[in-house]
Amino acid sequence: MNLNQITSPTLLVDKKKCVNNIRLMTEKAKKQHVIFRPHFKTHQSRTIGHWFKKMGVNKITVSSVQMASYFANDDWKDITIAFPANIREIDLLNELAEEVQLNITIENTEAVDYLNKKLLFEVGFFIKIDTGYGRTGITFDIFRTIDNILNHADQSDKLKFKGFLTHAGHTYQAKNANEVLDIHKDSMHKLALLRNQYIEKYPDLIISIGDTPSNSIANDFPGIDEIRPGNFVFYDLMQLHIGSCTFDQVAAVMACPVVAKHPQRKEIIIHGGAVHFSKDFITINDQKVYGKLIQLDKKGWQDIEEPNYLVKLSQEHGTLKVSEEILDKIMIGDLVAIVPVHSCLTANLMKEYISVHDELIDHLSGKIK
């Protein structure tokens, strides 16, 4: 890696680690006999998409119609938009549905009725189920609402019921792997009730789950037909903190120039702020943390065991709180490496990646608005 060429905040990707993450999840899906439909909202990259394709992946998940188009135009033919159908985008949905096997997510009859009238092509739909996260979806045991949606959908030949989809996003609040497993078990138990209720009428129904912590940590997926993890492609400090991955699996880190030092406060100021990292944070010992300082080298990066955290961000500035030793070692003009808290949001802001072999890697947000 030519570190001298890096003059401003840059998102680095280690392809080897990234491909290893993809391989591990692909193998787990095979072993568990579940469909692997990775979520591409984390990387949003056609190049990285090809790494999945080489591993035999041919079904993907995205979080917006725009993202679906980006990948449909790169020859992905089976795409699920795991976001409540936005009926204002009906024209784009029709364009997509003409080209690919498109699946959407439904959680209300208003959307069904509208789509019944306006869809020109066949579209698969998953009913979004809430197993405890409390963001979107129908609570897993409110069968009346589910039946209502199914009945409305039956009135058209365009919407085809595929199954139930959930995102147990509350695993992101877990403090350790055991808490993740508890949520995972609870979620699977609820989905089993749902399957029992509908499997007779819909013998081909698919139960699809999504969160990276469960998909990374669990080794037991009874009653699950499909997994849709996304973040695992890079992982990040949040996932390290939860226990979803090891440091060696972290495949994307920020490289940032050092612009100031404040020895009395033991602070180092980097070019790298909210417009690079995002303002997502985790809390460690009552301290907001936006990233962790690690060691950059020509081949990539290595961990620094002692915790030196990115503790403040403004638009362009980042403040690292560091040990005496690090303070002495790091000089104005140096480049430092930082594991971001949330790789999805960091990648979305950075708009492109540089591999540790100096290749430019695309990101949707650098291509179109």
Please, are residues 106 and 126 in contact by the beta-carbon 8 Å criterion? yes
Q: Which residue among 66, 94, 101, 197 contacts a second copy (CB under 8 A)? A: 66
- Residue from 101, 108, 116, 323 binding a second copy (CB under 8 A): 108
- Can residue 63 be called a binding residue for a second copy (CB under 8 A)? yes
Q: Which is nearer to a second copy, 34 or 268 (CB)?
A: 268
Question: Does residue 173 sit in helix, strand or coil?
Answer: helix
Which own/partner contact pairs does 62-65 have at CB distance under 8 Å and 24+ positions apart? 63/39, 65/89, 65/92, 65/93, 65/96
Nearer to a second copy, 66 or 355 (CB): 66
**Coil, strand or helix at 12:** strand
Taking CB under 8 A as the criterion, the residue among 26, 32, 64, 101 binding a second copy is 64
The pairing of strands 78-84 and 60-62 is parallel
Site stretch for a second copy (CB under 8 A), options 154-162, 234-242, 266-274, 303-311 = 266-274
Residue 145 in the binding site for a second copy (CB under 8 A): no
Residue with tokens 């037909």: 225
Here the tokens at position 21 are 């993450």
246-265 residues near a second copy, rule: CB under 8 A: 257, 259-262, 265
Options 279, 284, 303, 304; binder of a second copy; rule CB under 8 A: 279
Cα→Cα distances 91→62, 95, 107, 108, 119, Å: 18, 6, 20, 20, 9
| Shortest distance in whole angstroms from residue 85 CB to a second copy | 7
The helix (run of H) or strand (run of E) holding residue 186 is helix 177-198
- Closest distance to a second copy from the beta carbon of 119 (Å): 14
CB nearer to a second copy: pick between 6 and 35: 6
Both tokens of 296, joined, read: 């950059």
Burial class (CB in 10 A: 0-12, 13-18, 19+), 30: exposed
Pattern of binders to a second copy over 170-209, x per CB under 8 A? ----------------------------------------
- Options 53, 158, 266, 351; binder of a second copy; rule CB under 8 A: 351
- Quick check: 160 and 124 in contact, CB under 8 A? yes
φ and ψ at residue 322, rounded to 5 degrees: -130, 165
Residue ranges in 321-350 that form contacts with a second copy under rule CB under 8 A: 331-333, 335, 344-345, 348-350
84 binds a second copy (CB under 8 A): yes
Which of 96, 111, 194, 240 is the binder for a second copy (CB under 8 A)? 111
Is residue 60 within 8 Å of 103, Cβ to Cβ? no
Instruction: Please pick, from the candidates 61, 212, 249, 278, the single residue that binds a second copy as defined by CB under 8 A.
Output: 278
Cα separation, 230 vs 38, in Å, equals: 6
Beta-strand pair 226-227/300-302 = unpaired
- What span, in angstroms and rounded, lies between the C-alpha atoms of 35 and 187? 18
Of the listed pieces 49-57, 133-141, 204-212, 238-246, which binds a second copy according to CB under 8 A?
133-141
Nearer to a second copy, 34 or 174 (CB): 174
Angle formed at CA 48 by CA 58 and CA 297, multiple of 5 degrees: 150
The binder of a second copy chosen from 135, 144, 204, 305 (CB under 8 A): 135
In the complex, least distance from residue 319 CB atom to a second copy, rounded to whole angstroms: 7
Q: Which one of 297, 314, 357, 359 is in contact with a second copy (CB under 8 A)?
A: 314
- What is the C-alpha to C-alpha distance for residues 21 and 231, in angstroms, rounded to an integer? 10
Count of residues that interact with a second copy, criterion CB under 8 A: 60
Q: Does 319 bind a second copy (CB under 8 A)?
A: yes
- What does the binding site for a second copy look like in residue numbers (CB under 8 A)? 6-8, 41, 63-66, 83-89, 91-92, 107-108, 110-111, 114, 134-136, 169, 257, 259-262, 265, 269, 271, 274-275, 278-281, 312, 314-317, 319, 331-333, 335, 344-345, 348-352, 365-366, 369
